[in-house]
Amino acid sequence: MESLKKPVGRFAPTPSGRMHLGNVFAALMAWASVRSRGGSFVLRMEDLDTQRTAKEYADLLREDLEWLGLDWDLETPPQSQRSEVYDRYFACLAEKGLLYPCYCTRSQLHSVNAPHLSDGTYVYPGTCRNLTAAEQAAFGRDPAWRVMVPDKIWKLHDLCRGDYQQNLAAECGDFVVRRADGVYVYQLAVTVDDGEAGVTEVVRGMDLLSSAPRQMYLQELLGFSHPEYGHLPLLMAPDGRRLSKRDRDLDMGALRRRMTPEKLVGSLAYSAGLLEKQESISAAELATVFSWEKLRRDNICPENLFSGKSCFSPKI
């Protein structure tokens, strides 16, 4: 029976720097959610952007996860080694007649005066959808490839955010699945990787919620079932800023020098509403207190990780 199946969760970091508090939070919640129900956990390095990512960061990531007390049942091959796999799925989309080459330049795309999704995606107006073969050849360069999207509303019930919907045609437009340099884009790779690994639950930051409908569309086209989604609240600094990789005092190098794993796990769990009082707990204990009902829905300020500053202190 479907409902009795054990969940399969995953953590899919981009090894482009030392793990940051935001990644730590996503890893902990994704892990605790499936472990609390006896499910399994998959790790995957998302290193499609080989210019920005490095093996050294992937090694540090694993070490930081272990320090936190997290474990995984399987690490699937990094995306940079899977382009032949993605080729097959790309061919499958091509066979369906859903792909077309796009020659638009970055500046052309940016000048498109259309609404865009929260991730900065412009609604692609379909400029290259109906080019003739002669028009395509006249560009004389390699194109990116876009998948056509239907005028249809994609609905999901997010474990954290509740109901969410998006009409891809109106809010996103045909989107790129392979770049002009032959590199596959995140949307395709993540769909294939999660699908092949049998992931049933995708837990990650709120900033990726608007990507979920694109992934659901590709899942449908490529024959994968839809996972459940849980898009986590973002972590904020006491002055209301969103935390970023630039906050070096909150990367794992700095955090590990300042505190124990239990203090870090406990502080995040408390800020997220999973603990009633501030206390130190292990990752294993986190799995016993985790519940989607308790998890806060609004932005989270892990105050006690900032030495003495209050979440509500005015910006100086």
Q: Which runs of consecutive H residues, i.e. helices, occur in 208-296?
A: 212-222, 252-258, 261-271, 283-289
Pairing of strands 162-167, 228-232: unpaired
Nearer to ligand GLU, 98 or 209 (CB): 209
Name which of residues 35 to 64 contact ligand GLU (CB under 6 A). 46
- In the region spanning residues 165 to 194, those forming contacts with ligand GLU, defined by CB under 6 A, are 190
Q: What is the nearest approach in angstroms of ligand GLU to the Cβ of residue 314?
A: 31
Per this entry, what is the length of the chain?
316
Site string for ligand GLU, 194-233 (x = CB under 6 A): ----------x---x-------------------------
Nearest distance from C-beta of residue 132 to ligand GLU, angstroms: 37
Residue located via tokens 């540090």: 60
d(CA 262, CA 281): 5
Q: How far apart are CB 243 and ligand GLU at their closest, in Å?
A: 13
CA separation (Å) from 38 to 33, 113, 193, 287? 9, 48, 22, 10
Q: How many residues in the shown chain lie near ligand GLU by CB under 6 A?
A: 7
State which residue, 147 or 208, has the beta carbon closest to ligand GLU: 208
CA nearest to 10, candidates 18, 20, 29? 29
Q: Is 108 helix (H, G, I), strand (E, B) or coil?
A: helix
Q: What is the smallest separation between the CB atom of 23 and ligand GLU, expressed in angstroms?
A: 7
Distance, CA of 213 to CA of 309 (rounded, Å): 38
| Nearest residue (CB) to ligand GLU, 15 versus 266 | 15
In the complex, the smallest distance separating the C-beta of residue 223 from ligand GLU, rounded to whole angstroms, is 19
Query: CB 26 → ligand GLU: shortest distance, Å?
Result: 7
Site residues (CB under 6 A) for ligand GLU, limited to 3-22: 12-14
Which two tokens mark 169? 């045609």
Coil, helix or strand at residue 251:
strand
Query: Which residues of this protein are in contact with ligand GLU, per CB under 6 A?
Result: 12-14, 46, 190, 204, 208
